[in-house]
Structure 1
C-alpha cells in the first residue's frame, strides 16, 4: 500500500465541538461579532450572546421536544431556512441539546424534503417562514405532527424566536428562559462516535446519502484544514505587526452544504472574525456586500467566480479581499487568472481547495499567501493521508493519475443507514472520493470525476479540461461537456459541449471547434457536437447537473434520428 503523508501532523485537542469553539478558540473574544445579517447589520450576535442563546434554545429542545434525552448524537433536527445570523446559532443549539443538525436544500420540492425527513428519521423540523407550507406538507407525508415544526423568526435584532407552527406561539424566552449546560465530551473515542451533523451528498453514485459527521471530524476540520490560515495570521503578526488582519466573509452557500458548516459556522470562532449572512443569494447583492463590508476572505464556487470574472459590473468591489478560494467543482488555470485580475486590485490570487462532504470539507489546499502558477488544488492538509488507485484498486506509479482515497480524522463516520454504500465507499480506513487525481512535487491535481471521464478509443477525456478551455474563449461565459455515444462506433463515447454565449457576442460552431483543435489533442475534440444554452444547469454548490444534460442530449439524438 502506497500512502502519501503530509509533511506536518498536528495534535488535535480532545474536545467536543462546542467546547472547542466557545472555550478553546482564543481568537474569538466574548465581544467578537460572529454573525451579522448582511441586509441589516444591527441584527447580529457576539460570542457571549451566542453562548447564552444556544443554551436557552437547547433547554427548550431538550425539555419541550425531547432532543438529546436518549443520549447525544441520536435525534436529528432538520432545518430548511434562508440565511440569517440565527441559523448558525441554531446549529450550536441543536448540538448543545445533544441532537444532530441536518440542513435541507431550500430548492427542495415537497417530495424531496419528505425523502430527507424519512431518510434521516428527523424528530423535529425547523424552517424559515417562506418554507413553512412545504415543511407542513412534507411532515404530513412523513407522519410528523405540526406541533413538531418550529418557524425561525430572526428579523428583529435581539428578539429572535422559534414560533410553533401549530399554534403560532413563541417557543423561546431568550431574555430569562432557563439554560441547558453543555455535556462535555472529553473522551476521544466518544468524540469520534458521537454524530454532530448529517450533510446530504450524492457521494460517488446514486441518490443523496446522509453523511454522518462527528465532533472529532468538526474539530479536525478547523485544526487541520485551517492550519493554512493559522500560518498566514502568524506571518502577518510577525512581519506586519501594525497591519492587523480581521477575518470577514459573506455566507451565501446553504447550510445544507458542508461550506455552510465549515466556512461560515465554525471558522468565525477559529479566525476571530465575522460572517455576514445573505438571506438569499443574488449576484448583485453579493458583490455589493463585498464592497460595503470590505470583506477580506471569500470562499465560493466556480460559477460565482465565473460571474465575477465576466461581469462588467464588478469594478472595485473586491479591492479589500486578501484571500480568495474556490472549491466544490474544478476551475481552470485561465479562468483563475481572469478572476484574480478582479481581486484585491489584482494582487490577490485565487487558489483551489479540494474536498467533499464525506471529508468534512477540504482535503488539500495552499497557504493563503502562496501563488501556484500550476493551479493545483494544493497539498494534503496535516493528519490527512492519500492513496491513488487504478481501476483494479492497485496503487498507481508515482506521478500517474488514479482515484484518490483519503484517510484521517476529517473522514466522516460513514453514511446514515446505508451499509451498502459504506461497503462501496470506504476501504481499509480510507474514503473513495470518486475523483481522479495525480500527485506531483507534493501538490495534488484533480483531473475529473471518475464517473464523468469520457473514454474515446481507450483514451480518457476529462470534461473539466474541455470546460476550462471553452470558458476561456472570449465569446463564451460558461460551458459544460458530457460524453455521448459515438454514432460511428458503439464502443466509444465522444465529447459534446453545451455553451453559453456572452450577451451581444456571437460564435459559430465551426469557430469554437477550431478553437478546441488549436489547443487540445485529437482525442479531445468535440466529435459529439455543440449546443447552445441560456444557462448551464447547476446545483446550489456549483456542480454541473450532467444528468439533465444527458437527458437533453438523448432527446436531441432521438429528434435528429427522427428527421432522417
Structure 2
C-alpha cells in the first residue's frame, strides 16, 4: 500500500471538545479581549472571545432547558439554521454544540421543498432563522410536523442585546446579561472526541442527492492546527521579519458550507484574528469592506476572484491583503496571475487549497511563504494521509494520475443514515474524494473529476437532484445533467440533456422555467438545455456521463453553441 504524507511533522492534537479548544486552551491565539466576530455594516456590533464564552453558555442553557437539545445525550439532536451573515451566527453554532447538539446550516437559497428535505433527513429538533427567512422556515416546519414554538428568529441588530424570538409567541428567549448558564460537556479522550458529532453539513459526496456529513469534535479540533499549519509558519516568518501578521477577514460565504465553518468560525479564533460578517454577498459592498477594514487574509472562490481581476471598480481596495487563497472549485494559472496583480499592490500571490466537506475543509494547501509557479493545490497537511488508486483500487505508480483517497483526523464520521453511501465512499478508513490527482515533487495536482458533483461558484449541485426533478415533468421522458465550464464566469454550470416525450413540443425555456420553480438559484440550467434521442447508459442503467462530457467538449469546440440558453 503506497501512502503519501506531509513533508511537515505530524501534530499531537489535543483530546478535547471543540469549545474547550476554542475558548479554554492555549492552542488558540485569540485573547480574551479579541473581537472575534464583528458586523461589517456596524462594527460596534461585535463580540469578544470572553463575551462569546458567556453568551454560548447562556444560549446553550436555553437550548437545553426550553427545547431539550442534548438532553438525550451528546451529538444527537440536530438544530437547522437558515441565516444571513451576522456575528451572532457563529456564536449560535458554538451554542448548539455547547448544548450537546448538532449544528446544521441550511442554504439561504433553498426553496421550501429543499429546506423540508434537509429538516426531515436530519430529523431536526429546532429551527433557527434570520428574519427574512421566517416565513419559509415556518412553512417548512409545518410540512415536517414541527411546532412553530420550535422556530426561533435570530435578532442580532442591537449590540450586546442579541436575542432569539419565538416565532409563535414573539417572545424573546435569551437573557445574555444575567441569564443562567450551561457548562458544556467536556471531552477528554480521543474515542469520545471522534464519536460525538458537532456538525451535520450537507454534501453530494461523489454521487447522488445531498447527504448529511457527520463531522465530529475531533474533525473540528483537527481542522485548524492541521490546515492552518501554513498560517503558523507564515506568522512566524512575519514576526522574524518585524512585520507581525494579525488576521482580519471578510465573511461572505455561507455557514451551510464547510468553508463558512472553517474559515470564519474556527481558523480566525485559532490564529487570533477577527471575522467581519457581511449580511449577504454583493461585489460592490465586498470590495468596499476591503477598503474600509483592510483585511489581511481572504479566502474566496474562483468566480469572485474573477470579478476582482476583471472589474474596473477595483483600484486600491485590496492593497492591504497579505494572504489570498482560492478553493471549492478549480482555477487556472493565468487567471491566478491576473488576480494577483490586484492584490497587495501586485505583491500578494493567490494560493490554492483543496478539500471537501467530508474532510472538514482542506486536505492540501499552498504554502503562504513560497511562490508556486505551477499553481498546484499545495502540499499535504500534517496528520493527513493520501492514497492514489486506479479504477480497480490498486496503487498507481508514483507521479501517475488516480483517484485520491484521504485518511486522518480531518475525515468525517460518515454520512447520516446512508449505509450504502458509506460503503461506496470509504475504503479501509480512507475517504474517496472522486477527484483525480497526481502527486509529485511534494505537491498535489487535481487534473480531473471522477465524481458527478457540479460546482457552481463553489456551491454544490447534484446532477441526480436535477434529473429527478426533470423526469417528473409530464413532457420529459428522460434526462441527464452534467457540468460544463463557463469561461466567462470561471465556474461550472449545469447543462441538461433531455429526451422529450414524442409529440410533446416541450421547449428549452419551458424546461428551464420548470427547474427555476422547483430549485434554488445556483441549481439553474445555465449551461443550457439540449434535446437528444436517448440518454447514454451502461447495461446496468447507469448514466454514462463521460459520454456526455465528451459530447459537450465537441460542442464547445464547434463554432456554434448548440445549447439553447433559456432566460433564467
Bin for the TM-score computed over the shorter chain? 0.7 to 0.9
State the alpha-carbon separation in 1 of the partners of residues 197 and 241 from structure 2.
Answer: 41
Deviations 1:330-355 (A, max 9, x none): 00000000000000000000011000
Indicate conservation of the 8 Å contact 1:82/1:280, yes or no. yes
Secondary structure (helix, strand or coil) at the match of 1:224 reads: helix
Written as runs of structure 1 = structure 2, the 5 A alignment for 1:15-94 is 15-24=16-25, 25-94=27-96
1:451 positional shift: 3.7
The whole-number CA distance in structure 1 between the counterparts of 2:420 and 2:286 is 41
Q: Given the alignment of the two structures, is residue 553 of structure 1 paired with residue 530 of structure 2, yes or no?
A: yes
Change (3 A) 1:9 1:91: same
Return the offset for 1:136.
0.5
Counterparts in 2 of 1:387-398, with a 5 A limit? 387-398=387-398
The separation in 1 between residues aligned to 2:375 and 2:42, in whole angstroms, is: 37
Distance 2:103 2:147 in 1: 19
Alpha-carbon distance in structure 2 between the residues aligned to 1:382 and 1:5: 7
Q: State the partner residue of 2:126.
A: 124
* Counterparts in 2 of 1:550 and 1:336: CA distance versus 1, 3 Å: closer
1:94 is paired with a residue whose SS is helix
CA distance in 2, matches of 1:118, 1:185: 29
Query: Secondary structure in 2 aligned to 1:548?
Result: coil
For residues 230 and 157 of structure 1, what CA distance do their matches in structure 2 show? 32
Shift in alpha-carbon separation, 1:36–1:556, aligned structure 2, 3 A: farther
Deviation, 1:235, is 1.4
CA distance in 1, matches of 2:17, 2:220: 9
CA distance in 2, matches of 1:298, 1:149: 33
SS of equivalent to 2:198: strand
Once the two structures are superposed, the pairs formed by residues 519-530 of structure 1 within 5 Å of their partners are: none
Deviation at 1:477, TM superposition (A): 5.3
1:87–1:555 CA distance, 2 compared to 1 (3 A): farther
Does the alignment pair 1:279 with 2:256? Answer: no
Query: Which residue in the other structure is 1:324 paired with?
Result: 324
Q: Which residue of 1 aligns with 2:556?
A: none
Paired residue for 1:258?
258
Q: Residues 229-250 of structure 1, C-alpha deviation per residue, up to 9 Å, x if partnerless? A: 111111111222xx22210000
Deviation at 1:551, TM superposition (A): 6.1
The answer to whether structure 1 residue 95 and structure 2 residue 97 are counterparts is: yes
Counterpart in the other structure of 2:11: 10
How far, CA to CA, are the matches of 2:301 and 2:490 in structure 1?
Answer: 14
Contact 2:29 2:269 in 1 (8 A): yes
Deviation readout 1:175-196 (Å, 9 max, x if unpaired)? 1100111211111100011000
- Write the deviation string for residues 88-124 of structure 1: whole angstroms up to 9, x where unpaired: 0001111011000000000000000000000001000
Distance of aligned partners of 1:26 and 1:480 in 2 relative to their CA distance in 1, 3 Å threshold: closer
Q: Higher mean Cα deviation, 367-376 or 19-28?
A: 19-28
Deviation of residue 482 (structure 1)? 8.2
- CA–CA distance in structure 1, aligned partners of residues 6 and 147 of structure 2: 50
Equivalent pairs, count: 491
Question: Alpha carbon RMSD of aligned pairs, Å?
Answer: 2.7
Counterpart-to-counterpart distance in 2, 1:397 and 1:372: 24
Equivalent residue, structure 1, for 2:163: 161
In the aligned structure 2, how far is the partner of 1:278 from the partner of 1:218? 23
How big is each residue's C-alpha offset from its partner over 1:443-487, in whole Å with a ceiling of 9 and x where there is no partner?
Answer: 00001211469xxxxxxxxx99x95xx84xxxx5546588999xx
Aligned to 1:494: none
- Give the Cα–Cα distance (whole angstroms) in 1 for the partners of residues 3 and 311 of structure 2: 43
| Structure 1: runs of 5+ lacking an equivalent | 454-462, 486-532
Residue in 2 aligned with 1:188?
Answer: 190
Structure-2 residue corresponding to 1:520: none
Secondary structure at 2:530 match in 1: helix
**In structure 1, how many angstroms separate the alpha carbons of the residues matched to 2:418 and 2:489?**
39
TM-score by length of 2: 0.82
- Checking the alignment, whether the CA contact within 8 Å between 1:328 and 1:541 is kept in structure 2 is no
Q: Which residue of 2 aligns with 1:426?
A: 426
CA shift in 2, pair 1:64/1:482, >3 Å: closer
| 2:546 corresponds to | none
Aligned ranges 1:181-260 → 2 under 5 Å: 181-240=183-242, 243-260=243-260
Moved over 6 A (4+): 481-485, 555-562
Q: Does the residue aligned with 1:162 lie in a helix, a strand or coil?
A: strand
1:293-442, aligned counterparts within 5 Å? Answer: 293-442=293-442
Specify every segment of 5 or more residues in structure 2 that has no aligned partner in the other structure, as ranges.
Answer: 454-481, 498-511, 536-560
Aligned to 2:445: 445
What secondary structure does 2:318 align onto?
coil
How many Å separate the matches in 2 of 1:479 and 1:235? 34
Residues in 1 aligned to 2:189 and 2:109: alpha-carbon distance in whole angstroms: 39
CA contact (8 A) 1:301 1:541 kept: no
Instruction: Give matches, 1:490-529, under 5 Å.
Output: none
